[in-house]
DNA sequence: ATGGCTTCATAGTGAAGA
């Protein structure tokens, strides 16, 4: 089954892109972040009419996550149970026997910001919760916008970014902590082109110059098999794109 | 150069993203 993750930066603006990409990519499970849509306004009918099941947890203006799938989602979890949070950043469900966890990890703003402390606390809670979740659901995939570039090769200019938010040592340590739980970065299971990124700044022709970062990831537990994983730059080339593009993995 | 672009929000000297 093909699973994917895409920070759409407003589902309202990007609905057509999402529908088109779902159809052409033949994706079975698509995790969305930054839907920026209250649940009452979620475009449920449009997606159902296209033949998909959807679960979602959103709010006005900021954040918001959703899982779109060809098969029905069960055992839906909204938010981290061990972290009091008004921000809608996590939704999980069991689909085709695999625990799908969709996350929008906080950005952090800068290492000096209160939001950075919130990010690290959120990551610590995610780690603790996943430890238990993996016992309950050994077949698990963690997809989303992590807002972490795990290594320097995931950053277009690692010297300029050194120590900054998205690449700082505590953030990378948190990412490695997830890997120590047995979760594997599907993208790095395969030979990949150099300078592969999933996000490019809207400003200064970031995409055209490939000034990007790989901050969207799909991690899978050890008992999940993966036969391919890649980044689809296609949607980033469209008119009025999200600043992120979809990442995907073929798993069984 | 703390900008640059995009979104949602409100009408702010805006906020947030990454």
Residues of chain A short of pLDDT 70, as ranges, are: none
Task: Return the SS3 of A191.
Answer: coil
Which residue gives the smallest C-alpha to C1' distance to B16?
A62
Maximum separation of any 2 CA atoms in chain A, in Å? 48
CA A138 – C1' B5 distance (Å)?
42
**How far apart are alpha carbons A232 and A29 in whole angstroms?**
15
Q: What integer pLDDT is reported at residue A196 of this predicted model?
A: 98
A166 CB neighbours strand B below 7 A: yes
Q: What integer pLDDT is reported at residue A140 of this predicted model?
A: 98
Q: What integer pLDDT is reported at residue A34 of this predicted model?
A: 97
* H/E stretch holding A55: strand A53-57
Q: Whose C1' is closest to the CA of A240: which nucleotide?
A: B6
Q: What integer pLDDT is reported at residue A170 of this predicted model?
A: 97
**How far apart are alpha carbons A229 and A231 in whole angstroms?**
7
pLDDT digits (tens, 9 = 90+) for A147-181: 999 999 999 999 999 999 999 999 999 999 999 99
- For strand B, give the nucleotides within 7 A of a protein CB: 4-9, 16-18
CA A112 – C1' B6 distance (Å)?
25
Give residues 122-161 of chain A lying near strand B (Cβ < 7 A): 145, 147
Q: What integer pLDDT is reported at residue A154 of this predicted model?
A: 98
**How far apart are alpha carbons A121 and A112 in whole angstroms?**
15
CA A7 – C1' B6 distance (Å)?
14
**How far apart are alpha carbons A87 and A233 in whole angstroms?**
29
Contact A65, A35 (CB under 8 A): yes
For every residue of A99-143, DSSP letters joined together read EEEEEE----S-TTSHHHHHHHHHHHHHHHHHHHHHHH-SSEEEE
**How far apart are alpha carbons A160 and A175 in whole angstroms?**
21
A209 CB neighbours strand B below 7 A: no
A106 CB neighbours strand B below 7 A: yes
Q: What integer pLDDT is reported at residue A206 of this predicted model?
A: 95
Nearest to A42 by CA among A27, A23, A55: A55
For every residue of A131-182, DSSP letters joined together read HHHHHH-SSEEEEEE-----SGGGBS-HHHHTTSTTT-HHHHHHHHHHHHTT
* A145 catalytically annotated: yes
Q: What integer pLDDT is reported at residue A105 of this predicted model?
A: 98
Q: Whose C1' is closest to the CA of A13: which nucleotide?
A: B7
Nearest to A237 by CA among A200, A204, A211, A203: A200
Contact A6, A31 (CB under 8 A): yes
Q: Whose C1' is closest to the CA of A215: which nucleotide?
A: B18
Q: What integer pLDDT is reported at residue A185 of this predicted model?
A: 98
Residue A3 has, within 13 A of its CA and on its CB side, a CA count of: 28
């Amino acid at each position: 089954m093909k699973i994917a993750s895409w920070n759409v930066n407003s589902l309202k603006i990007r609905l057509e892109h999402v529908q088109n990409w779902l159809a052409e990519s033949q994706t079975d499970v698509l995790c969305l972040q930054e839907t920026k849509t209250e649940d009452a306004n979620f475009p449920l009918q449009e997606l159902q009419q296209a033949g998909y099941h959807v679960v979602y947890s959103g709010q006005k203006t900021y954040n918001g996550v959703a899982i779109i799938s060809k098969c029905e989602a069960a055992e839906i979890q909204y938010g981290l149970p061990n972290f009091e949070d008004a921000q809608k950043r996590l939704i999980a469900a069991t689909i085709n026997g695999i625990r799908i966890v969709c996350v929008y990890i906080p950005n952090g703003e800068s290492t000096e910001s209160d939001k950075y402390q919130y990010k690290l606390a959120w990551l610590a809670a995610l780690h603790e919760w996943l430890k238990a979740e993996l016992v309950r659901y050994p077949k698990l995939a963690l997809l989303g916008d992590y807002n972490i570039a795990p290594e320097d090769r995931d950053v277009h200019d690692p010297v300029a970014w050194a120590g900054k938010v998205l690449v700082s040592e505590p953030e990378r340590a948190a990412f490695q902590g997830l890997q120590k739980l047995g979760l594997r970065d599907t993208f790095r299971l395969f030979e990949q082109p150099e300078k592969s990124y999933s996000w490019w700044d809207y400003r200064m022709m970031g995409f055209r110059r490939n000034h990007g970062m790989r901050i969207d990831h799909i991690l899978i537990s050890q008992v999940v098999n993966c036969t391919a994983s890649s980044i689809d730059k296609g949607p980033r080339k469209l008119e009025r794109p999200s600043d992120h593009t979809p990442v995907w993995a073929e798993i069984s």
